[in-house]
Structure 1
Amino acid sequence: MNRARGAVALAVTTVLAVAAVTACGGPGGPADGAHAGAAPQAGAQGLAPHPVSDLKQGGTMRVSVQQWITQSNPHQIDGTQGDASAITSMVEPSLFSLDAKGEPRPDPDFLASAKVVSTSPQVVSYRLNPKAKWSDGKPLGWRDFEAQWKALNGSDDRYRAATNSGYEQIGTVQRGADDHEVRVTFSTPYADWQSLFDPLLPASLNATPESFEKGWVGRIPVTGSAWKVGAFDRTAQTVTLVPDPAWWGRKPRLDKIIYWALDGTSTLDAYLNKEIDDTSAVDPEKYQRLKNDRGTDIRVGARWDQVTLSLNGGRGPLADVAVRQAVTLGVDRAALAKVAGKDLPFEPRVLDNHFFMPDQAGYQDNTGGFGKRDVARARKLLDAAGWRDNGAGEPRTKDGRPLTLEYVMPGDALALQTDQAKLVQRMLGEIGVGVRLRKVPGSDYFDKYVHRGNYDLTQFRQVDRVFRASSYADYRMPRGDNAFTNYGRVSSPEVDRLLLEATRTTDVARQRTLYNQADARIWKLGHSIPLYQRPQIIAVRKGLVNHGAPGLGDEDPKTIGWLK
């Protein structure tokens, strides 16, 4: 399925985000037995491809989401949760689709063409499909682009945008030669211009800060794609999508897609009871139960999916860079990856880079001495920072305050995340850092804790940063109350400068150099700890095809269906 790449998406580590619903492979999936094969390389995807002539017309696909969606605007700071972005991208125009390598291609249902027509200044011409229109009957046009630019360019702080990257570098958005052409002129070059206006939203809903913030709460008021919202059922905790009869392109094969908000601990039983049609099999216990199920295909792909331990530098002891560095040195990432890979067909890869996945061009180790656990060095850093060692099993103290951190996690977390949290607790205890585990309601985890910076430590996933410019918001300097998606509020003017320059550089080699220079400084700042690339291992009901683990790419939801 298409993903909201203009936004940034987060997901809980142990629950599948709908944006990458399932994976590939034939019956039996990957080889049985722990670590039987190598992790899939960049570009690996599996969609169980079939021509649509092999499919039944009609049928329902039922999938789970990890919480009830409150904010459906993927560009608003509270709309970055992965399930929300994924649902919205199904019903709003996604101008580009990504192939298996993550390369963007204009979607002909919306764009006849999109290209850079001038480099000094950079000007992009979008030629719109004249048939494309919104559910209110209005055609897609240049004013939709203009309103989205104005809402997201940072000129009005009342728009609480998840990211301004790219939009703040646009100088003008204008009507082109006719109503079907949009011309976007950049004040400074922007390399990842294909990531912008994705999904495109109607001008009416970007028109004012109020419509931007409140127009999408508990609803999706205007759509513009092959699917539309059939029902929001708060009682049943379901969102139902149905084909839009006004759709101008190829008709979907399915009659319905139902998203059901389920407690993370319930998804396995719901799948085995045939209440949903796919589920994550990345948790070792779940994989062992699912791999030999006769009605199941295990499908695998290589997604941009980083499991991250976030350190909140905006409050408490972690406001001190020395403490963040000590915590980084106190965590054994290889041990956490090993736990994640127990009984899986391959072991997750430890990540030494915040911006690139292993096997992607540009990936290199920038840890600079912070990638390996070093208890002695961590203790020295805490000594020098004035935290007194009180002996084994006791937290250090300073000015009468204990060095204790609150590790926040969703209450419906599966066994893997709980086990890893306890491991972190034990690891940090060995350097004199106390860790108090706190479980919060899963439906509140992002909205009230992660997005608000109400934690000292927490673990989540950063996903689908195929366009690296979309990562800028994760590490940039906060602006007043808006931390963008830098929830831990750790940054520096130098990191900001390097990342901004990288977004403005069209030379690919220079871009990679700048991202890696910024990455080295991010490690020194103790911003966050990339743990490992999360495997994309999904159990899918046999017979459900053209739907899988798209890896770096996209699925075409119009072709998803059940075999005859």
Structure 2
Amino acid sequence: MRLPYLRRTIALLAATTAASGLMVGCSSEDQVPSIGYAVDTAVTSYNGGTAAGAASAQAVFGRVLTGFFYTGPDGQPVADTDTGTAKEVPGEAQTIQYRLNPRGVYSDGVPTSCDDLVFTWTARSGRFPGFESASTAGYEDIERVECQPGSKDGTVVFRPGKRYLPWRTLFGAGELMPAHVAAQAANVADIVAAVQNDDRPALDRLAQFWNTGWNLEPGDLDITQFPASGPYRVESYGLEDGLVLVANERWWGEAPATGRIVVYPKPADLAARIEDGSVAAVDIGAGSLPEVNLDAYSVQQLPSRGIEQLVLNTGGVFESTAARRAFALCVPRQALFDQLGRVTEAPEAGLGSGPSNSRTLQQDSMYYPVATGAAGPFAAGDPEGARAALADAGKDGMVVRIGYLAPDARRAQTVSMIADACKAAGITVEDASTPEFTPARLREGAVDAVLGGPGGAPGPAGSLDGIAAIGGLRSGSGLNIGQFRNGRFDSITDQLAAEDNSTTQLNLVTEAENLLWAQLPSVPLFATPRTIAFSGGLDNGIAGPTRAGSGWNMDQWVLQR
């Protein structure tokens, strides 16, 4: 959703410039050759275009699989000219011209090409059956990708009458996948020809690989399946040793400042890794590991662009709107923010200033104060109103199982507070967290609600554009784990993607907010607070409280001892 936000671009440029200066001034004599990075997400897929990969790929693989744009630390799309250039060109239909860097080559020696654009669009357009993509936003509006196989130039032409204003979110870091790997695995000689000729058997085989071929399990990996297009490549992945990223010898841009980054995601014991000094960079939910001592680190607590929320299953106990309303009414949103969502230096207005009253709008959007009035009845927790709504649903009581990726002390306390508040309404709330939890368990019916960011993301989440947040509510989207379906909401978001008139935007977002508070596919709580810490001696660490995490510039990190 391309809305006017209060941006801090000048601050970003200043911070980046300062960081660059620090890097230049560092002596290599006492530089540590490897840096540990703890981040509270689960790494289950290399493919950021799938629902499994969408929750972690940008935070972990943003500097492994680069794209034409990446998410900057303020949540904005930033051009990555090492990958190539993208520009909108005049034409009757919206047209974007992509030009890959002539020197671009994957770590396995295969050149980057417009085949990668064709494959990514094919998988995410929703036009070709079998591909299980996280979201089709933007890609579904593309009519075709003009490409000569193996060429560095590709032209994306949108459908007649369609316009997608946030086009800079397409073909981004962690989402532009290596077509040649899929082609080889699926025994397809020419992906571009297969798409142009609508070769269904070939496309079916490609879809099978897209869906699961890049899944990641700790243990032995066939590294040939995971070539990199960025400054780092994957060397290994194990529960004890973490996800090991090493310098990509074929990278054509500026060499990474440190040759080895070890990412420790969940289910690794992050507390133990921090305590024993294995990590120099930490990006975790605030309060999630209260036992951890961060005295040796420079620590920031920041509200993130991800909205902490309860995503509800629109089937099972929450099949009726009345049942969802009953639960939403008993959730003590203000108390949850005051005790668990407020960062140490909370602003008086804007992001992190209070409970979030929207699932898709950021609190520093100019539209936010006007568009979110429908949240009023759901502020403080209303057990009497919840009991009445429960009666409207034809229920005397209700059991709600809330799942999230454990361990997470803040989310455990969130569930506990909700359980205490909802007890008076006759609603029993159970903690259904596990160390192996995935948001897909909601779709499977194993839980009734997921506590996390958009789409149930357990770790870094959110961006200014809100594409993932919207995808989590669109009919048929892979991120829509609660399986909410509303044609009017889909239509509104389609209009917003092409609308640049501020009055029309305000009317549309207000209608969308009213609809969501009436239908209650989820209950927004607050901007997820993040604890971001860098150890003494680490230069160029810049907090990134977004879906890209604070590893967004890990190739610039330098650790001195």
Asked whether the two chains share a fold, i.e. TM above 0.5, the reply is yes
Q: CA deviation digits over 1:332-354, x for unaligned, max 9?
A: 10111122157944485310111
Aligned to 2:471, the other structure's residue is in SS state helix
For residue 415 of structure 2, what is the aligned residue in structure 1? 421
Does the CA-based 8 Å contact 1:128-1:140 persist in structure 2? Answer: yes
Query: How big is the alpha-carbon RMSD for the aligned residues of Structure 1 and Structure 2?
Result: 2.9
Q: CA deviation digits over 1:77-116, x for unaligned, max 9?
A: 222232x4422322112211455554434212112x3211
**Per-residue deviation at 1:204?**
2.6
Find out whether 1:155 has 2:127 as its counterpart. Answer: yes
For residue 14 of structure 1, what is the aligned residue in structure 2? none
From 427, 452, 464, the equivalent of 1:460 is 452
Q: CA deviation digits over 1:274-306, x for unaligned, max 9?
A: 022233475448579646x2x211135453121
From 264, 272, 288, the equivalent of 2:275 is 272
Aligned to 1:91, the other structure's residue is in SS state coil
**Structure 1 pair 211/507, CA: closer, same or farther in 2 (3 Å)?**
farther
Normalised by the length of structure 1, the TM-score is 0.80
Which piece of structure 1 moves more, 166-175 or 516-525? 516-525
For residue 55 of structure 1, what is the aligned residue in structure 2? 26
Does the CA-based 8 Å contact 2:46-2:226 persist in structure 1? Answer: no
Partner Cα separation in structure 2 for residue 158 and residue 417 of structure 1: 35
Give ranges in structure 1 of 5+ residues lacking alignment.
Answer: 6-40, 389-395, 397-402
Partner Cα separation in structure 2 for residue 282 and residue 213 of structure 1: 29
Partner Cα separation in structure 2 for residue 237 and residue 454 of structure 1: 31
Aligned to 1:304, the other structure's residue is in SS state strand
From 363, 367, 375, the equivalent of 2:374 is 367
Paired letter, 1:374: D
Partner Cα separation in structure 2 for residue 469 and residue 212 of structure 1: 21
Alignment of 1:431-470 (within 5 A): 431-440=425-434, 442-443=435-436, 445-446=437-438, 449-450=441-442, 452-462=444-454, 463-470=461-468
For residue 112 of structure 2, what is the aligned residue in structure 1? 140
For residue 11 of structure 1, what is the aligned residue in structure 2? none
Aligned to 2:245, the other structure's residue is in SS state strand
RCO (CA 8 Å, sep 6+): is it higher in 1 or 2? Answer: 1
Give ranges in structure 2 of 5+ residues lacking alignment.
Answer: 184-205, 455-460
Which piece of structure 1 moves more, 127-136 or 173-182? 173-182
Partner Cα separation in structure 1 for residue 112 and residue 530 of structure 2: 35
Find out whether 1:165 has 2:173 as its counterpart. Answer: no
Partner Cα separation in structure 1 for residue 560 and residue 64 of structure 2: 24
Higher helix share: 2
Which piece of structure 1 moves more, 513-522 or 139-148? 513-522
Partner Cα separation in structure 1 for residue 233 and residue 272 of structure 2: 29
Paired letter, 2:400: L
Alignment of 1:462-481 (within 5 A): 462=454, 463-478=461-476
For residue 109 of structure 1, what is the aligned residue in structure 2? 82
**Per-residue deviation at 1:256?**
0.4
From 237, 245, 261, the equivalent of 1:232 is 237
**Structure 1 pair 241/451, CA: closer, same or farther in 2 (3 Å)?**
farther
Partner Cα separation in structure 1 for residue 343 and residue 144 of structure 2: 54
**Per-residue deviation at 1:64?**
2.5
Partner Cα separation in structure 2 for residue 379 and residue 360 of structure 1: 34
Paired letter, 2:378: G
Paired letter, 2:388: K
**Per-residue deviation at 1:450?**
4.2
For residue 203 of structure 1, what is the aligned residue in structure 2? 179
**Structure 1 pair 439/301, CA: closer, same or farther in 2 (3 Å)?**
closer
**Structure 1 pair 71/176, CA: closer, same or farther in 2 (3 Å)?**
closer
Aligned to 2:360, the other structure's residue is in SS state coil
**Structure 1 pair 281/65, CA: closer, same or farther in 2 (3 Å)?**
closer
Does the CA-based 8 Å contact 1:284-1:343 persist in structure 2? Answer: no
**Per-residue deviation at 1:521?**
0.6
Partner Cα separation in structure 1 for residue 177 and residue 506 of structure 2: 31
Partner Cα separation in structure 1 for residue 148 and residue 471 of structure 2: 30
From 491, 497, 506, the equivalent of 1:503 is 497
**Structure 1 pair 531/115, CA: closer, same or farther in 2 (3 Å)?**
same
Q: CA deviation digits over 1:111-144, x for unaligned, max 9?
A: 2x32111253100111222111222323222221
Normalised by the length of structure 2, the TM-score is 0.81
**Per-residue deviation at 1:551?**
4.1
